[in-house]
Amino acid sequence: MPATGGCLCGAIRYTLKAEPALTVVCHCTHCQKASGSAFSTNLVMQRADIHFSGGEIAAYDDKADSGNILKRSFCPKCGSSLMSESSGRPGSAVLKAGTLDDPSIVKPGMEIWTRSAQPWVKLGGEMTKMEKGR
């Protein structure tokens, strides 16, 4: 750290000021739809440690299985999913690891919502696995 990243079109950029507290692979059905893939790899960190620059960020309020509102932020120009913020965890943010300029630095430590994982997804490594969220 600091690491940098941004959306597909480059309109929105960010710099991370700290290491993530946790790196999580989420298999929930909402992350599958939001990512257009079988899961989402996420950096859990303090929102204050992410500095965005460039264009305005659009957002969609999603209702999570927990009942919390999950604000899903994305680039309005290219649609890249950037970050989520939960009403249940004020001050925290979940940054999409695929938007990093160098995502190879990511080392996931946990898989969550494995009960929704696609049966053909088998990730390697020694990750803690949880059927539901944290």
The long-range contacts involving 70-79, CB below 8 angstroms and separated by at least 24 positions, are 70/30, 72/34, 74/7, 75/7, 75/8, 75/9, 75/11, 75/12, 77/7, 77/9, 77/11, 78/7, 78/8, 78/9, 78/11, 79/8
Q: Is a pLDDT exceeding 70 seen at residue 132? A: yes
Strands 12-16 and 4-6: antiparallel
* Confidence label for 36 from pLDDT (cuts 50, 70 and 90): confident
Within a 10 A sphere around the Cβ of 125, how many other Cβ atoms? 9
Q: Does the predicted model carry a pTM greater than 0.85?
A: yes
pLDDT of residue 68: 87
Per residue in 64-95, pLDDT tens?
877 889 999 999 999 999 999 999 899 999 99
- Domains of the chain as residue ranges with CATH: 4-118 (3.90.1590.10)
